[in-house]
Amino acid sequence: MAAAAAGAGSGPWAAQEKQFPPALLSFFIYNPRFGPREGQEENKILFYHPNEVEKNEKIRNVGLCEAIVQFTRTFSPSKPAKSLHTQKNRQFFNEPEENFWMVMVVRNPIIEKQSKDGKPVIEYQEEELLDKVYSSVLRQCYSMYKLFNGTFLKAMEDGGVKLLKERLEKFFHRYLQTLHLQSCDLLDIFGGISFFPLDKMTYLKIQSFINRMEESLNIVKYTAFLYNDQLIWSGLEQDDMRILYKYLTTSLFPRHIEPELAGRDSPIRAEMPGNLQHYGRFLTGPLNLNDPDAKCRFPKIFVNTDDTYEELHLIVYKTELRPSSYTQSEASISASVHPTLDFCRRLDSIVGPQLTVLASDICEQFNINKRMSGSEKEPQFKFIYFNHMNLAEKSTVHMRKTPSVSLTSVHPDLMKILGDINSDFTRVDEDEEIIVKAMSDYWVVGKKSDRRELYVILNQKNANLIEVNEEVKKLCATQFNNIFFLD
């Protein structure tokens, strides 16, 4: 198995080796219809990163991609090439809207070795990158763009190529800096949602709260409810929620946590007279509700783009049980009409106190759950679970996400094995199970059962195949006893 590849950089020669993670080389968007004739090629390019690249090179690179896609289409008309492997880099192609192509070029990881004569020798690791991971990242780029800007086509209708180019430039200029290609893994393929486990009664209370709030604030169209970065309820459809969840948990929330951890309390509360004791505030929109000049600017989001094409304002409101505490619940609310300051005050007065009460209910649940699971000792395994049907994702491999990187607690080689198993699963429809013996006493087990995938990493010395199988069975019986998981 692929796990034969070096057991991490911990040998005596480690100091002589330098590793460079994969990096974004270029990223561009084009539409071949915009410059069909010779001499007009530049018109095809809608966005190009890095912008400093010389014009002719841009045209050449776009032309190459176009040619590859055209060429492969002759062999497979419905599924043209998705990626191109070269020694130094990999190119990923995606056509999210008809004739609009997005291309991402990623440099392969590099190991720089000292040769005997002291000269550095660069070695490209051609097989390290997983197609599925980076194709998913590319698709996510589009989804994220669409969430905040609508479709390419809509921009064309609204203001032609000029407007589209402006939007792309404005969005991707910042977004590409947040990609962090070195830490992409299996979870990027799944694009899953972590759900907060909750008892029925508390869940129904939340339902009731949301319904009442939507009734009294009638410009509210959809509501999502999260607790500690985990989703509890989404009124939005699954696909829209998936990308919004990604935005909230990897971008918006982490940005607001850092100043808090630095000990800076939100300044709004203390001076609000007659306000019930609650620590609610807007993560989007006005900072200070008492300031009559406070700007009520909310990001616009676009949902149901295949269908009703709704343009909404994203209001994110958050309460904490105590200032700067870890437990928090966030309600992300989508309103149809532009919310006014007056609306924000009403929302604050309605949602703030109730959300605080709910948060303490949930916190209680959370502690009960923790106590119940806490009695067990540190398990001998780590796992990743994903269900394609509801996008539910659970990982004990990953630590808490920070805005910059998602940290894993296992070696990258093991993560790569997980990715490989996932690729194998994609090739067949049948349920199956793959068990891999990896380096250093690790066993990796992949199970697929009716659109669910489970990956387990076991660290058991001298375990044999039968014991590993038993261990995974036990895990399924304890962690997944309420779902139908085939043995």
CB of 91 to another protein, least distance (A): 33
Q: Does 451 bind another protein (CB under 8 A)?
A: yes
Residues near 57 by Cβ (< 8 Å), separated by ≥ 6?
none
Nearer to another protein, 201 or 287 (CB): 201
**Sole residue written with tokens 């394609």:** 388
Among 112, 237, 265, 364, binds another protein (CB under 8 A): 237
Among 126, 214, 260, 310, binds another protein (CB under 8 A): 214
- Judged by CB under 8 A, the stretch of 46-54, 173-181, 227-235, 290-298 that binds another protein is 227-235
Three-state SS at 421: helix
Q: Does 212 bind another protein (CB under 8 A)?
A: yes
The dihedral built from the CA positions of residue 320, 321, 323 and 325, taken in this order, carries a sign that is negative
CB of 390 to another protein, least distance (A): 6
Q: What's 309's DSSP letter?
A: -
> Between the CA of residue 468 and those of 7, 395, 415, 441, 450, what are the distances in Å?
22, 19, 19, 12, 22
Radius of gyration of the chain (CA): 25
Burial of residue 13, with CB atoms counted within 10 A of its CB: 0-12 exposed, 13-18 middle, 19 or more buried: exposed
Nearer to another protein, 170 or 451 (CB): 451
Nearer to another protein, 125 or 202 (CB): 202
Q: Describe the strand order of the beta sheet including 110-114 as a list of residue ranges.
A: 17-20, 110-114, 120-124
Among 200, 322, 427, 461, binds another protein (CB under 8 A): 200
Q: Does 216 bind another protein (CB under 8 A)?
A: yes
Among 1, 8, 122, 204, binds another protein (CB under 8 A): 204
Nearer to another protein, 266 or 354 (CB): 354
Residues 159-198 that bind another protein (CB under 8 A): 195, 198
Nearer to another protein, 287 or 389 (CB): 389
Q: Does 78 bind another protein (CB under 8 A)?
A: no
CA distance 245 to 194: 9
Q: Does 311 bind another protein (CB under 8 A)?
A: no
Among 6, 121, 201, 405, binds another protein (CB under 8 A): 201
Q: Does 484 bind another protein (CB under 8 A)?
A: yes
| DSSP state string for 149-179 | H--HHHHHHHHHHHHHHHHHHHHHHHHGGG-
Residues 361-390 that bind another protein (CB under 8 A): 387, 389-390
User: Which tokens sit at 27?
Assistant: 């990223």
CA distance 324 to 322: 6
- The pairs formed by 369-378 with CB atoms below 8 angstroms and a separation of 24 or more are 369/197
Residues that bind another protein (CB under 8 A): 195, 198, 200-201, 203-205, 207-208, 211-212, 214-216, 233-235, 237-238, 241, 387, 389-390, 392, 431, 450-452, 482-484, 486-487
